[in-house]
Structure 1
Amino acid sequence: MERNKVTPDNITEEDHRLFALLSLYLNHTSDFISKEDIEEIVNYGVSAEYAFSVVFAAALGLDIVDKPEDKDLFNNYFTKMIHQLDPNEYYNNPYFKNIRIPAIRIGNSELKYEQYKPYEGFVCNDIITTQEGRQIPQIGFFEADFMFPAVLENNRIWMTITPNEIETMKDPVAKAFGNVLTFGLGLGYYAYMISEKNQVERVTVVENNENVIQLFKQYILPQFKNSKKITIIQSDAFEYAQEHMAKEKYDFVFTDLWHDVSDGMDLYLRMKGFEQDHPGTEFMYWIEKSILCYL
């Protein structure tokens, strides 16, 4: 009976255990699950999503049959954590439909398409927090190859437009208005989406990487229907925030300077410090909900 008693400490322990297992899997064996693994279980009359959950649990080292604590972890998290995604939902996104990415390299930066393999697990949205306080990561997969645009730095994926970026930017896109400042360029997804809005008059993008700016200006920006709304400034984000942000009277500021939660916490807190000096400006931050789970 005591084992089933839910306390804040027990929930925190389960959160930490699951996050540690996920980190190892996603960083080292994210494409471990095969089509054959899923089909074998689907033949028993369950959905591909449930089959993925079972194989995924085994890949994390969980024994959900004979170990009660592993079974509890599976029941408490996996039904809210695992999502089979529809590729058409993302391929029909305006950026995916209207922007074509060439294979180009400038300096250490490379522009190209990358892919998720069938049944490869990946983070697909912000962490959600349940009523009882569990923090549940969101893991997605596709049944077939899924191609997505990416910028590589020194042959390492640095910036992408994946379901995770699309889902986690929905609110900042929806709420942007007036004179908008965004820190971080990437492939210009955020700039493109808000430039399509009638409520957005101007978009200023601050980016420090000269190669990324060159790739964007030469190969991506000319494809934007409302490219005249967009101004690119090469600068350090914090230097610009300190020296120039107040002069331009921005209505809305969106910050996307980090690769993930691990390298984002300090940058997030540093940028949050500027809010008090701009009471008339609305600020939003990429993956803020997930970052707050760690603070």
Structure 2
Amino acid sequence: MEGNKMIKEDNYKVFALLSNYLNHAPDFIDEEEIDDLIQTGVSHEYAFGVILAAAFGLDIVDKADEKEFFYNYFNKMIHKLDANDYYNNPYYKNIKIPAINIGNSELKYEKYKPFEGFVCNDIIQTKAGRQIPQIGFFDAEFKFPAILENDRIWMTITPNEIETMREPVDKAFGSVLTFGLGLGYYVYMVSEKDNVEGITVVESNEDVIDLFKKYILPQFKNAHKIKIIKADAFEYAQKHMAKGKYDFAFTDLWHDVSDGIDMYLKMKTYEKRSPDTVFTYWIEKSILCYL
């Protein structure tokens, strides 16, 4: 029991440290610091971790407990990503994002600075119960599509979205229902599949729908497969989902775990209305770590 308590405390500690870093100074680490360390023969990831640990006030040299904490989390947490892995993604290669404003919404490219940290995948939960966030960085500037609302980033297609949607894209088949449109990444990837007959998208934000229909959807090779319904996701799930007899459903309505838990649990209650539908949820693995 004592071990479980300590692991829970460590989980809380790493999330608290990372939350402060990602929310207030994600571009804290610079290339010069990294270069100084990798000249000693360590990897970019290790160098990044050491600098981050020092910023957190961890003494991983002289304090055994903090050294153990570092090795339990940081070694599996930090990843240097290859930009080409994402720029070669079919959406990135085939869909061009113009700089456009409609209402309070703005369509544009945002960017990560070199060595800027960001969440890059679902939380990993070890057999011992450790919950390890996944933090990525690039060694050069990386541009990604985004929708801003009132000058704040609302929807993006970053490595995190690409990685956390791999499974629901791979599993989609037949008649697909998706709650949440965003920039249409999921819809595009699923529409390219031969075993997907059609995709119904439920989205409540009219500005997002207008941006998508006018500037993004015309670039889709299989746009004819896509039907967009302007509606509240939960109202549609309650009143109309079962009538659609969908084979597969994917829900992506939240920004992150913090605002997703309640919506996830609410949407789960509607599954019994469509017993023949396979249901999936964005960042479900991360959400389940908190339940």
**How high is the TM-score relative to the length of structure 1?**
0.97
2:44 matches 1:48: yes
Matched with 1:85 is 81
Q: Which moved more, 1:43-52 or 1:94-103?
A: 43-52
CA distance in 1 between partners of 2:190 and 2:110 (Å): 24
| Match among 29, 32, 36 for residue 28 of structure 2 | 32
Aligned counterpart, 1:231: 227
Distance in 2 between residues matched to 1:72 and 1:258, nearest whole Å: 34
2:199 is matched with 203
Q: C-alpha distance in 2, partners of 1:287/1:43?
A: 37
Partner of 1:159: 155
Give the aligned residue type for 2:111: Q
CA drift of 1:6 comes to: 7.4
- When structure 1 is superposed on structure 2, of 221-230 and 240-249 the one drifting more is 240-249
Q: 2:284: which partner in 1? A: 288
Runs of 4+ in structure 1 over 2 Å off: 66-69
SS at match of 1:179: strand
What does residue range 165-180 of structure 1 map to in structure 2 within 5 Å? 165-180=161-176
Report which stretch shifted further, 20-29 or 66-75.
66-75
AA matched with 2:96: R
Partner in structure 1 of residue 117 of structure 2: 121
The reply to whether residue 101 of structure 1 matches residue 97 of structure 2 is yes
Matched residue SS, 1:7: helix
Identity of aligned residues (%): 71
- Paired residue for 1:58? 54
Counterpart Cα distance in 1 of 2:280 and 2:212: 23
For these two proteins, the number of residue pairs brought into alignment is: 291
For 1:219 and 1:188, how far apart are their aligned partners in 2? 11
Q: Which 5+ residue runs of structure 1 have no aligned equivalent?
A: none
Query: Which one of 182, 185, 189 corresponds to residue 186 of structure 1?
Result: 182
Query: How far does residue 68 in structure 1 lie from its aligned partner after superposition?
Result: 2.5
Q: 1:130 aligns with which of 126, 135, 155?
A: 126
2:218 to 215, 218, 222: 222
SS in 1 for 2:216: helix
Q: Which amino acid aligns with 2:271?
A: E
Deviations 1:92-127 (A, max 9, x none): 000000000001011111100000100001000000
Please list the CA deviations of residues 150-179 of structure 1 after superposition, one character each: whole Å capped at 9, or x if unmatched: 011111111100010000000000000000
Gaps of 5+ in 2: none
- C-alpha separation between the residues in 2 aligned to 1:192 and 1:204? 12
Cα distance in 1 for residues equivalent to 2:189 and 2:218: 15
One-letter identity of the residue aligned with 1:251: D
Offset of residue 63 of structure 1: 1.9
Q: What root-mean-square deviation, in Å, do the aligned CA atoms of Structure 1 and Structure 2 show? A: 1.0
SS in 2 for 1:111: strand
Q: Does 1:262 align with 2:262?
A: no
TM-score between the two structures when normalised by the length of structure 2: 0.98
Letter in 1 for 2:203: E
